[in-house]
Structure 1
Amino acid sequence: MRLLVTGAAGLLGRELLRSAAYEVVPAYHSQPVPGGVRLDVRDRGNVREVIRAVRPDGIIHTAYRQDDWLTTADGAVNVALESPGARLVFVSTDAVFGPRTTPYAEHELPCPTTPYGAAKAAAETAIRAVARRAVIARTSLIVGSDGTSEEEQRVRRLTAGEPGAFYTENIRCPVHVSDLASALLELLVGEVDGIAHVAGPQALSRLELGRLLAIRDGLDPHALPSEPGPPSEIRLDSRRTQELLKTRLRPAGEFLSR
């Protein structure tokens, strides 16, 4: 199998390149990746050229920008429209939902409350219409081990005294980047179509997650400033997808244990 990974310079893209057992072609936009091809997903003509040149059997689309509708929404649709012969896995987000106290299952309709969530929800809807065999893999906060993930960097900045705070009422289901990459590669070659939830089984506040990261990295967890923040509890119920996977999606308390 020849696999095209978009957003290959990002945290998830790099992990997919490292762990995939296939011939992988990395696609990047602004930060070059060795052996990669430059791809502007906002330009449908460029998407067509790259896909015709690479001729992938599968595509894992990780590219996005939170503040850019053209990249996040239109870009994902361009990839879906120009890859009719390839198996597509589109990485979506828990932000397609709004806050509530009970978990969201795969069959529930998006109800975003942020522009980023709305862009991902729009992409999901269009992809389901034009690429019926595509997998839409919703995930949550992605955490790594090398200090490059957003949450890891925030912990280091705030324990060093930079301004900011971790919210106690912002609750998500963090997933380790290696677990997520392994699950996406399984979904790529599996029989699952449609929506899949691929998040960790443990719900944590941003403060709880930050403290676990601080302890893992030998920092003072009590040095992290906190405040309630706007209430935002969004949990994905990933049990159905987990039953179909060999990859075990570990709770954050486990993968961040020293």
Structure 2
Amino acid sequence: MKILILGASGYLGSCVFNRASQMKNAKVIGTSRTAQESESCIQLDIINQKLVDTKIKQIIPDVIVWTLMNRQKEHELINKGLKNLLNVVRKETKIVFISTDAVFSEGKGGYSETDTVALLSVKSPLAVYVNSKIKAEQMIVTEHSNHVIIRTGPIYGKSANQKIEDRTSKIISNIKKNDPAEAYSNSYRTFVHVEDLANAILEVAVNKVNGFLHVGPTKKESYFSFFQKRLHQLGWKSTFLKPVQIQQEKDAFYPLDTSLNTQKATKILSTEFRCV
């Protein structure tokens, strides 16, 4: 089996690549925009149509894992990059696409795979990213039946490069300067450990799962409780962490609760998702 991991040098992609490389009977190839050509990692700009055509036809992957993301240019990544991929990929190839809980912008929480997504207002700073993810999901469902679309909440944990998630790094940076840090106590998410997510991605890559899949533990956390626990795990005191509440009249486009119902994943996957 040939597994192609798009974005293998990124936070999530590096973890997926490392774990996939340990699989038996699998040839794993990763991509990076800046990587030097080697047997296991190739340089590939997904926006370059000619290059995408050439590489996909050369590799002939059985599975393609999309871990690419670019919050500011997500629309280009999807409108050009994903389109390039869908135009050349064989129907037999399985696409595993990593999406986001943020597609549920109404913020009511407990979302299952069959719940309706909602576009974000263009006034929201996350509109480009979220709405592009929604479009990507629609493109894949319409044009490529052999797919798994994984929706995940915020990811945390050490990457293959031993880097932790940016959001916690910023809090720690404040603590080092004795500056107070604030975290929302009324905003809830399903936080997912990067290692568990990588395991789930590779599990669905090789089994017969198809369609949408929500992953993560069954317990949701507020951002405040998440940071409290993460700081403790990393050996930091949370004294400087202050709980604050979102005022929806001021933050009208910020969804309070995008937590996921992960019962389906719990039932069909052997991967266990740890709580924070």
Asked if these proteins are the same fold (TM beyond 0.5), I'd say yes
Tell me how far apart the structure 1 counterparts of residues 207 and 6 of structure 2 sit (CA, whole Å).
Answer: 20
- The alpha carbon displacement at 1:73 in A equals 4.7
User: What is the total number of aligned residue pairs between the two structures?
Assistant: 252
Alignment equivalent of 2:29, drawn from 25, 29, 51: 25
1:163 Cα deviation (Å)? 7.6
Which stretch shows the higher mean deviation, 72-81 or 172-181? 72-81
Mapping of 1:81-120 within 5 angstroms?
Answer: 81-84=87-90, 85-113=92-120, 114-120=127-133
State the match for 1:210 in structure 2.
227
Whole-Å Cα distance in 2 between the matches of residues 99 and 164 of structure 1? 27
Deviation at 1:125, TM superposition (A): 0.1
Corresponding residue for 1:255?
Answer: none
* Alignment-derived partner of residue 80 in structure 1: 86
Identity over aligned pairs, percent: 26
Whole-Å separation in 2 of the counterparts to 1:102 and 1:37: 39
Letter in 1 for 2:27: E
Contact 1:147 1:153 (C-alpha < 8 Å) held by counterparts: no
**SS of match in other structure, 2:197:** helix
State the TM-score, normalizing by the size of structure 2.
0.84
Q: Deviations over 1:68-119 (max 9, x none)?
A: 1111454233323321231110011111111433311101221132321100
Q: Which residue of 2 aligns with 1:244?
A: 268
Which residue among 22, 46, 51 is the counterpart of 1:41? 46
Pair 1:71-2:77 in alignment: yes
- RMSD of aligned C-alpha atoms? 2.0
For 2:188, the aligned partner's letter is: I
Q: How does 1:116-135 map to 2 (within 5 A)?
A: 116-135=129-148
TM-score (norm 1): 0.90
Matched letter for residue 268 of structure 2? L
1:161-240 equivalence runs, <5 A = 161=177, 165-229=182-246, 230=251, 232-240=256-264
Over residues 185-233 of structure 1, what are the superposed CA-to-partner deviations in whole Å (9 max), with x where a residue is unaligned?
A: 1111111111111123221111211111111111111212443234521
CA distance in 1, matches of 2:36, 2:99: 23
Once the two structures are TM-superposed, the CA of residue 132 in structure 1 deviates from its matched residue by 0.7
1:50 Cα offset (Å): 1.6
Q: Any stretches of 5+ residues in structure 2 without a counterpart?
A: 121-126
Greater shift after overlay, 120-129 or 49-58? 49-58
Code of the aligned partner of 2:98: V
Partner of 1:14: 14
Alpha-carbon distance in 1 for matches of 2:117, 2:131: 8
Q: Distance in 1 between matches of 2:36 and 2:164?
A: 17
Distance 2:96 2:215 in 1: 12
- Once residues 219 and 71 of structure 2 are traced to their aligned partners in structure 1, the CA distance between those partners, rounded to angstroms, is 24
Q: CA 1:106–1:36 in structure 2 vs 1: closer, same or farther (change >3 Å)?
A: same
- Relative to structure 1, the CA distance from residue 77 to residue 103 in structure 2 (aligned partners, 3 Å threshold; closer, same or farther) is farther
